[in-house]
Structure formats: structure tokens, C-alpha cells
Amino acid sequence: MSTCELECNGKSIHLAYKEFEIMKLLMYHPKILTSKEELINSVWGNDSEAIDNNVEAYISFLRKKLLFLKSKVTIKVIRKVGYHLEYSDA
């Protein structure tokens, strides 16, 4: 059975469908910047009325969940360009 869960350090947390889709996109290409427009088109759809704030809200939700899991992976942003995943060994 497929679930929308994120696991790390023996903990797991449920992801909402859009959170899951965003995380999946970022994980497929962790070092490549993914723009808000790409996220909106891929997750909400080309005909969607979603706006940049929708992406920012879901990225915030995901960041909080990664913190809860004490993950070494973070979602980084390069303003006006896009998001990518970053692994910290610290």
C-alpha cells in the first residue's frame, strides 16, 4: 500500500497530497532548482488558480515536518529562482 509519509530517524509523519507531490519533485532532482511556476504547473495543474503564496505555504509546512523529524535534509530557496534540497552533515 502506498502512503504519503516522510520517514527519518525512526520517526514518520503524514504528508498531505500536495506536500507529497512537492517533496517528490524536489527529491527526484535534489540539486536542480525548481521554480514556483514549475511546482504550480506540476502539483496544482496548468489551469490552476494557485499562486506563489500557495507554494510558499506548502514549503513552510514541509520545512516544519522536516524539522520535526530532525532530518539533515532542508529545503533551500534561491530568491526569484527556485527551491532545492540540501543535505547537511552537521
For the chain, domains (ranges, CATH) are 12-87 (1.10.10.10)
CB-neighbour burial class of residue 90 (10 A; exposed 0-12, middle 13-18, buried 19+)? exposed
Please report, as a single letter, which amino acid is at residue 66. L
Query: Given this model, what pLDDT does residue 47 score?
Result: 87
Predicted pLDDT at 48: 86
Model pLDDT for residues 20-72, shown as the tens digit of each residue? 999 999 999 888 999 999 999 999 998 889 888 999 999 999 999 999 999 99
* pLDDT value at residue 50: 86
**Cell numbers for 37:** 511556476
Global pTM value: 0.90
